Amino acid sequence: MLHPRSSLGSLLAFLFVVRIPAGFAETQCDCVDAYDIASRRAEVTAAIQAYENSIREWSRSTAPTAADEDQRRDFQEREIKPALEKARYLNATPASAVTGPDLIGRCTTENSSPSACMKESTDVHESVHMAQCTALGHRRWSSLEDYAREEIAAYHAELAWLREAYRRLRSECEFELAFDSTIHGYNVVSKSTAGARVSLRLDDSGHFEGNSVLDYRTVDTGPPRRTLGDPLLAALLTTQCKAPPYYTWEGSGMTQISVPRSALMWAQDPRTGNRHVFIELSLHVGETEEVLRFKDRKRCLPPVQEERGAFYSEAFYSDKPGKTIGGTRVVEFNDWYVPGSNGSFAEAELVIKGGAAGLGGPVSAMKSAEETRLVLTRK
């Protein structure tokens, strides 16, 4: 048995550690590539299907399917390329590589995939063509079917690699979203704070998702310290009543918060060609429950019945471009700093400056100020 401190022992241990995960230790694919991997997996599956369909059709017809270069290219353009393009995800990094003869007739692979991960994936595919090319030469297909079968084998090899790569990312990639939000009412004198930590994992289709609980607290910050909207009305209330009456929302509790179908992906600057991380994060906030109260300490005006409603959640959705995903209302955050500060993966913020709530003002405006911060951290 080797002494743990012997240099031979540590060298062997080092080699052992490095060599064990040989298939994946060197991979360049990381969490941001999961979207491309899932997209490529869909493309590859569609390609295999398209080749198999063609083989089935050829077996039923007597038309010649000689594999000359023109016919091969025509078949590729007409039958296979559209299937691949249809399956590719929106804005996914394209994968492209080709194996063929160089100027002096040697088999070579040219891989022009723009990301390291897609390059790896297509290298697996091209290695099948390379082995066939090296063994049998460039004109190794006597029919289109021969060619199609080689492509199916190449795509199957790539598919196995993609499935393994995705399985690994699915177990490794976990992010935590920290959500902190403050909203001040506009003509209601209240302040809401809401916060949550949401753990995000990969789903089966290259997207991140997660759900958690949002803690919220809406408090009365009155009496109002300034006037908004109609100055006459405010002046009237201030002089008529010794302490001006006002509306406020109050309430606290927990509601659902979720991140459905969000994506981390690569984007390319069309001007410089530089690639950067792009994040499309959808956030759903469940309904909060608060009570709208009329505060009139000096009993200057007739009393007003209190009302139940959702102040924080409605104010959060208001003035933000929103959409629904599977019937769930979401707000999209697509503007992120990557990397974020303090070692975080990314950061986004939404700041509406307005100051504290006041008195008066149009009823349609729900909030005078908002500060919502999202911090994404790799776990």
Helices (H), 61-194: 69-75, 81-87, 116-136, 144-172
> CA-based Rg of the chain, rounded to a whole angstrom?
30
* Residue number, 155 or 311, with CB nearest to Zn ion: 155
Tokens representing residue 85 in the block: 């393009």
For position 154 contacting Zn ion by CB under 5 A, the verdict is yes
Q: Closest residue to Zn ion, Cβ-based?
A: 154
Q: Which is nearer to Zn ion, 119 or 207 (CB)?
A: 119
Shortest CB 57 distance to Zn ion, Å: 20
| Cβ-proximal residues to 155 (8 Å cutoff; 6+ apart), any chain | 44, 47, 48, 51, 125
Q: For residues 125 and 106, give the distance between their C-alpha atoms in angstroms, rounded to a whole number.
A: 18
Number of residues engaging Zn ion in binding (CB under 5 A): 2
Residue 41 CA to residue 89 CA, distance in Å, equals 10
Q: From the CB of 126, what's the least distance to Zn ion, in Å? A: 7
Task: Give the integer Cα–Cα distance in Å for 236 and 69.
Answer: 88
State how far the Cα of 158 lies from the Cα of 141, in Å rounded to an integer.
21
CB of residue 104 vs Zn ion: minimum separation in angstroms?
22
Binders in 48-67 for Zn ion, by CB under 5 A: none
Q: Is the CB of 162 or the CB of 188 nearer to Zn ion?
A: 162
Is position 315 an interface residue for Zn ion (rule: CB under 5 A)? no
Neighbours of 320 (CB within 10 A): 15
Segment interacting with Zn ion, rule: CB under 5 A, options 143-151, 165-173, 298-306, 349-357: 143-151
Q: Which is nearer to Zn ion, 71 or 91 (CB)?
A: 71
Choose one: 27-35, 69-77, 148-156, 264-272; the region binding Zn ion (CB under 5 A): 148-156
Rounded-to-5 percentages of helix, strand, coil across the chain: 35, 35, 30
Nearest distance, CB of residue 151 and Zn ion, angstroms: 5
**Min. distance of Cβ 158 from Zn ion in angstroms?**
9
State the Cα–Cα distance between residues 359 and 189, nearest whole angstrom: 7
**Which among 1-9, 60-68, 144-152, 323-331 is the span making contact with Zn ion, rule CB under 5 A?**
144-152
Give 46 or 169: the residue with its C-beta nearer to Zn ion: 46
- With CB under 5 A as the contact rule, which of the stretches 43-51, 145-153, 203-211, 306-314 interacts with Zn ion? 145-153
Whether the CB-CB separation of 228 and 360 falls below 8 Å is answered with yes
User: Toward Zn ion, which CB reaches closer, 120 or 151?
Assistant: 151
CB of residue 124 to Zn ion, shortest distance in Å: 11
State in angstroms the smallest separation of the CB of 139 from Zn ion: 16
CB of 29 to Zn ion, least distance (A): 20
CB 33 within 8 A of CB 263: no
What length is written for the chain? 379
The reply on whether position 133 binds Zn ion by CB under 5 A is: no
Nearer to Zn ion (CB atom), residue 151 or residue 290 = 151
DSSP 332: E
Nearer to Zn ion, 154 or 196 (CB): 154
Alpha-helical regions (H) of the chain = 7-19, 22-25, 34-60, 69-75, 81-87, 116-136, 144-172, 231-240, 311-317
- Cβ of residue 50: shortest distance to Zn ion, in angstroms? 12
| Residues of this chain, 322-361, that bind Zn ion according to CB under 5 A | none
Binding site for Zn ion (CB under 5 A): 151, 154
